[in-house]
Amino acid sequence: MKAGSKVRSAIALGSNMGDSLAIFSSAIAYVVATPGITLEAKSSWYKTKAVGPPQPDYLNGCILLQVEMLPQLLLETLLEIENLLGRVRTERWGPRSLDLDLLLYDDLILDTPTLQIPHPRMRERAFVLVPLFEIAPDWIEPVSGYAIKELVKEVDCSDVRPFMGN
């Protein structure tokens, strides 16, 4: 990435503890207050069944960003925002106040011990693909070579419902 160049990035948001809408609003405010990050688009919010241990339904959505930072720094920024807003990691796929997942970073394919881009499970998760389809249907997921609008057809979307509190 050249200095001063902007890269498009997709982030998934999820929450099933506390006031999820207020948490999302705060998270997006923190994201856009970060130097080098501009909000390009925000999806609607969706109510979805939880994956993992028994827990309340989630609210999920996605945002598109223009970023002027390397992916590792973007990930660190997202983790810092999760912590600022009370995220506590106790059990894998357990309930959480906020989850910010780095899904896509331009057409980069990256596999390190701390970061995988594209997100390794995004292609099988309707709760990610449905909101991402809303704001970036033509974005090509670089591992599969398929656009989001094609990937969303391959998953069961029956548990992803528009949240009427949008």
| Phi-psi group of 126: left, alpha or beta (phi > 0 → left; psi -120 to 50 → alpha; rest → beta) | alpha
- Taking alpha carbons only, the member of 116, 141, 122 closest to residue 62 is 122
**Is 156 part of the annotated catalytic residue set?**
no
3-state secondary structure of 103: strand
Catalytically annotated residue among 96, 106, 123, 159: 96
| Residue 21: Cβ-neighbour burial (10 angstroms; 0-12, 13-18, 19+) | middle
Q: Considering the candidates 8, 57, 101, 106, report the single residue annotated as catalytic.
A: 101
Q: Is 99 among the residues known to form the active site? A: yes
Give the span between the Cα atoms of 107 and 130, in whole angstroms: 20
23 Cβ neighbours under 8 A, 6+ residues apart: 15, 85, 86, 97, 98
Phi, psi (rounded to 5 degrees) for 64: -110, 135
End-to-end alpha carbon distance in the chain: 35
Catalytic residues: 87, 96, 99, 101
